[in-house]
Amino acid sequence: MAQTINEQYRGSLTALVTPMAKDGSLDEQAAIRLIERQIQGGTTGLIPAGTTGESPTLTHLEHGRVVELCVKAAAGRAFVMAGAGSNCTSEAVGMARHAHEVGADGLLVVVPYYNKPTQEGLYRHFMTIADATPLPLWLYCIPGRSVVDLTPETVGRLAQHPNIVGTKDATANLTRPIAVRRAAGAEFNQLSGEDGSILSFLAAGGHGCISVTSNIVPDLCSQMHNLWQEGKVAEAIALQDRLTPLHDALFSETSPGPAKYALSRLGLCEATLRLPLVEPGEATKKRVDDALRGLGVLD
């Protein structure tokens, strides 16, 4: 029997950073190494070219290349949910179609940023993208970056489309998974976009987390989800407590700056960002270093 969406898309998923060389160009070899490390660490899903992957500063050609590279490197060992978000609907449709062409398993589409659409505009935006390919689509709600919220009522309307199967919720509102379940049904897949509140999100009915922290410690993030799924709640909470200083450090400045710095400290990629993002300040670097040492992954 085929797995349901909620059985397949659960646990620890990673919003991948996009490694860049010191000159700002894509570092494809580093990307492949990071993807391999994710799979070996137990990550169930990979999200390339999302906002953690600095999608706003990738060219269209680079965006497509990042997705294609991830599909090839994963080689079916983890599902690939390609970032396909834009504040231009036709652009997002193009990204979605490319992701389908190169073999991605699903789409993550962020609420359009800056142009502040109404709920009706959001509904039409997502429906248009969902109509463009047969891929399952996740709605990404992150008001802190997009300004506009995607309400549970609109999610419920969108869930009537057979291709719209879930959400990534980065509101940090722990009543949201309950409201979305009531509006969209129990089979609608709910993934958290907030590392710090993941166990609370799961307790409210969520299914997994699209994580930034799992870029750094994929094995520990995967282990925490496994403990939760096995009913070992106290052990999962204890591990979440250990991870919390790293969660906090990685979001003490604009992401993915601290995450890329952490990866550079582990010798996994350069800390390079593209403007307007800049390297974290010294206080943030120290906070990241302290969190990594606390987890025993940095000498």
Tens digits of residue pLDDT in 68-105: 999 999 999 999 999 999 999 999 999 999 999 999 99
Contacts of 177 (CB under 8 A, 6+ apart): 169, 190, 201, 204, 205, 206
Given the residues 9, 123, 168, 261, select the one marked as catalytic: 168
The token pair that represents 84 in the structure block: 């396909």
Tokens found for residue 51: 């906002």
- Rg (the chain; Cα; Å): 18
Q: Give the amino acid at 205.
A: G
User: Angle, to 10 degrees, between the axis of helix 257-265 and the axis of helix 233-250?
Assistant: 100
Residue 3 confidence class, pLDDT cut points 50, 70, 90? confident
Q: Respond yes or no: is residue 285 known to be catalytic.
A: no
Pairing label, strands 79-83, 11-15: unpaired
Residue 113, pLDDT > 50, answer: yes
Does the residue 186 lie in any domain? yes
Joined together, the tokens standing for residue 83 give 């970032």
CA dihedral angle for residue 260, residue 196, residue 118, residue 185, rounded to 10 degrees:
120
Per-residue CA distances from 219 to 27, 151, 223 (Å):
23, 33, 6
278 lies in a domain? Answer: no
114 is catalytic: no
201: in domain: yes
Catalytic-role residue among 123, 140, 261, 285: 140
| Domain extent at residue 130 | 9-232
Domain count within the chain: 1
In a domain, 28, yes or no: yes
Residue 135, domain member (yes or no): yes
- Going through the chain in order, the beta strands assigned E by DSSP cover 11-15, 45-47, 79-83, 106-110, 137-141, 164-169, 189-192, 208-211
- Residue 1: which pLDDT band, with cuts at 50, 70 and 90? very low
Prediction pTM value: 0.96
CA–CA separation, 60 and 62 (whole Å)? 5
How do residues 267-293 score in pLDDT, each as one tens digit? 999 999 999 999 999 999 999 999 999
pLDDT band of residue 186 (cuts 50, 70, 90) is very high
Average pLDDT score over residue span 162-184? 97
Question: Does the pLDDT of residue 2 top 70, yes or no?
Answer: no
Is residue 93 situated within a structural domain? Answer: yes
Q: Is residue 238 part of a domain?
A: no
Establish if 237 belongs to a structural domain. no
* Residues 14-28 pLDDT 10s: 999 999 999 999 999
Kindly report the CATH number assigned to the domain that includes residue 184: 3.20.20.70
**Distance (Å, rounded) from C-alpha 16 to C-alpha 203?**
25
Taking alpha carbons only, the member of 210, 165, 181 closest to residue 50 is 210
Mean per-residue pLDDT of the chain: 97
